[in-house]
Amino acid sequence: MDTWLAIGNASAGTSDEETIAQVLTCLREFARVDYVATEGPEDLARELADHDDAGLVAVLGGDGSLHAVVQALYDADRLDRTVVGLVPLGTGNDFARTLELPDDPVGSARALAEGTDRAIDLIVDGDDHVVVNAAHLGLGAQAAERSAPVKPVLGPLAYAAGAVSTLFSRTPRLRVRIDDRELGGRIAQVAVGNGRFVGGGGELLPHALVDDGLMDVAVVFASTVPRRIAYALHLSRGTHADEDYVEYTTARRVRVDSAPLGCTSDGELTGPSAVHSWRIVPGALTMRLPVTPAGGSQPTSAS
C-alpha cells in the first residue's frame, strides 16, 4: 500500500481537528497516511525530510498552507519527484476555486484519492519564492497593508475599510516589462498569476489557466477616483479584463520597477521593494486533481 503524508496546521481549532479526522479516515481507505501538524517553515521542512518516501503530500489547509508546502518542496529540490494534493480547509481557498475542488472536505479528500496526477505551472519571483496562485502590487497590497492595524477590531470588514482608503491614494509611476514589451505611467495595480481568484473569491485574473505555460498579467491604469470605483465594480464581477484602462495579457516573464512598493503574494504581504519580477516555470508542480472538476467545466487548458 502506498504511503502518503498529510500536513495540517498546528494552530487549527477543535472544529478543524474534527474535520481533519474525517478527512484522514477517508484518505486511509486508499493508502497508509501519516499525519503531521506543523508549526512553521523549519518544522515543515523537517517533516518533509523525515517523510522523503511519501508518494503523495496532501495539504489539509488553505492557500497559505499550500504555498508553504510547495515552497518547502521547491527549496528541497523535490518538486520533480513529489505529487501534491489539496484538501481545502482554509478561509479563502482561492486556488481550490480555480481547480474546482469540491467544497466538502471529505468529498475533496475522496476526489484527491481517486484523482489523476497533472503537471501544472508554477511562478517563481526574483527572490526565488514560489507563487502558486497570484501576486499583486498596488491597490490590493495597499488595502492589505492599511487593513492590518484594524483587523483585530474590524475582522473581515478591515480589508473593505483598507480598500476604501486606497481610492484617494496617489497612483505611483511604474515601469512594467512584459516579456519584450514595456508599459509605463501612473499604474494603480499590477497582478500576475496562475490562478483566477484572490481574497476569498475575487476574480482578479479571470482567464488564467493553470497549465498553459504562461502567467496571466493585469496592468490597471486607474489613477482617478471614478475610474478606481469603476474598476472595483468590474473586479467584483470579473469583467475588468475588457476595460480600456486594463492591459490584460499573458507572459513568461514580468518585471516592475518603481519606488519601493509592497506586494501581496499568495495572500501574504511582503516588504517594500523597488523591483518585483516573476517568471513562469511550465509544468513544475504535479498535483493530484479530480478526474472531472466538481463544477463540470475544465479549468485548465485543452492540452
**Could you report the per-residue pLDDT of 248-298, keeping only the tens digit for each?**
999 999 999 999 999 999 989 888 999 999 999 999 999 999 986 444 444
Q: What percent of the chain has pLDDT over 70?
A: 86
- The pLDDT tens digits of the residues spanning 125-135 come to 999 999 999 99
pLDDT at 303 over 80: no
Burial class from Cβ neighbours inside 10 Å (0-12, 13-18, 19+) for residue 269 reads middle
Q: Looking at the DSSP assignment, which residues form a beta bridge with residue 204? A: none
Please choose, from the candidates 260, 174, 259, the residue with its C-alpha nearest in 3D space to the C-alpha of residue 217.
174
In the CATH scheme, what is the code of domain 130-282? 2.60.200.40
- Whether 150 shows a pLDDT value over 60: the answer reads no
Report the mean per-residue pLDDT for the chain.
89
pLDDT band at 159 (very low <50, low <70, confident <90, very high): low
Q: How far apart are CA 73 and CA 8, in angstroms?
A: 16
Class of domain 3-122+283-289: alpha beta
Residue-level pLDDT at 91: 81
Residue 153 has pLDDT above 70, yes or no: no
Domain boundaries, the chain: 3-122+283-289, 130-282
pLDDT at 156 over 70: no
Active-site pick, 18, 42, 145, 268:
268
Q: What is the pLDDT of residue 236?
A: 86
- 261 vs 249: CA distance, rounded Å: 22
Average the pLDDT over 22-51 and give the result: 96
Q: Residue 13 corresponds to which cell in the numbers above? A: 481549532
29 catalytic, yes or no? no
The single residue listed with the C-alpha cell 501544472 is 120
